[in-house]
Amino acid sequence: MMSRLSCLTAIVLLSVLQPAAAQSYPARPLKAVVPFPAGGAIDVAARLVLDGMAASLGQPIVVENKPGASGNIGTQQVARAPADGYTLLLGAAVNTAVSPVMYTKLDYSVDKDLAPLAQFGNAANLIYVHPSFPARTLAGVLEELKRHPGKYAYASPGSGTTVHLTMALLGARENLSVQHVPFKGSPAAITAVAGDQLKLGIDAAGPALAFVQGQKIVPVAVTASKRLAVLPDVPTFAESGVKVALPSSYLGFYLPAGVEAGIVERLAAEVGRALARPDVADKLRQLGVEPEYLGPRDFGDRAKRERAMWAEAVKLSGATID
């Protein structure tokens, strides 16, 4: 009985000590900037989590898509927004870990102007081939590429994307000679392989699912720690015998730096609460996104750790932009 009373007392004291802004938050609708095109797998995944958050926050979260420059346009907008907790940013590896090392001149600092809120998932990349390609396993694909250096080219959704950089790392570590053909987005890249214009491609798993299900392309392996629920028959790199550390791209939310600690804690908890809903988690998996929650500190630590890996990939790919 005493322990329960002590707990209740602590909760009351905490609410009394919290700043007034945190106690009354949120008093109006929030905005979430998604720095990628509307309708894509990443956009849909973010909206699923945001809708779950809005349901328990009691305020709508209006999504604003601001694509362009590998996500830098929308990211800059949030970096300059008021630190009042009413503006969120969808932070993926490409705009929060790759951009700081790929772009030599940015009008903002991810470390100084933004603060990690919470990770909600991992978007794995998928290596796939046209049905006429002479191999169906990752080991077989690599063997074919090594046997015929310079013969093949691979499709990606664009230069400087995590997809392109993942292949740059793999190519360097496996000593591959394969040409990169960037397209303007995933649909165009995957369609090129499905139409046999190219024999090989790498992309986020989500955009490729419909092509896999239609047997237009053959999935080979995913860059994930475990198999994707939506592609249970497709092995991971490790299962394929390729010991190259190629992580999935994280997905999460950032805030402008300086948001009140109580508001950060509230929003981070709401991300976790939304992710715990079975309907949200299941729909994320159907998009090729594996749900995984990390709080502000752990999420920030992951982004900083992986930045060094992406810096190596940028150097190998020559994708540095002034």
Question: Model pTM?
Answer: 0.86
pLDDT of 55: 93
Chain region(s) in the chain for CATH 3.40.190.150? 28-123+248-317
Q: Which CATH number fits the domain 134-222, given the four candidates 3.90.25.10, 3.40.50.2000, 3.40.190.10, 3.30.390.30?
A: 3.40.190.10
Chain region(s) in the chain for CATH 3.40.190.10? 134-222
Q: Answer for the pair 249, 28: CB distance below 8 angstroms, yes or no.
A: no
pLDDT of 265: 97
The token pair at 133 is 């390609």
Single-letter code of the amino acid located at 293: Y
Instruction: Say how far apart CA 249 and CA 166 lie, in whole Å.
Output: 10
pLDDT of 22: 64
- Which CATH architecture describes the domain 28-123+248-317? 3-Layer(aba) Sandwich (3.40)
Phi first, then psi: what are they for 68, rounded to 5°? 130, 140
The token pair at 296 is 């502000």
Regions of the chain with pLDDT less than 70? 1-22, 244-245, 319-322
Q: Please provide the DSSP assignment of 104-132 as one string.
A: S--SS-HHHHEEEEEEEEEE-EEEEE-TT
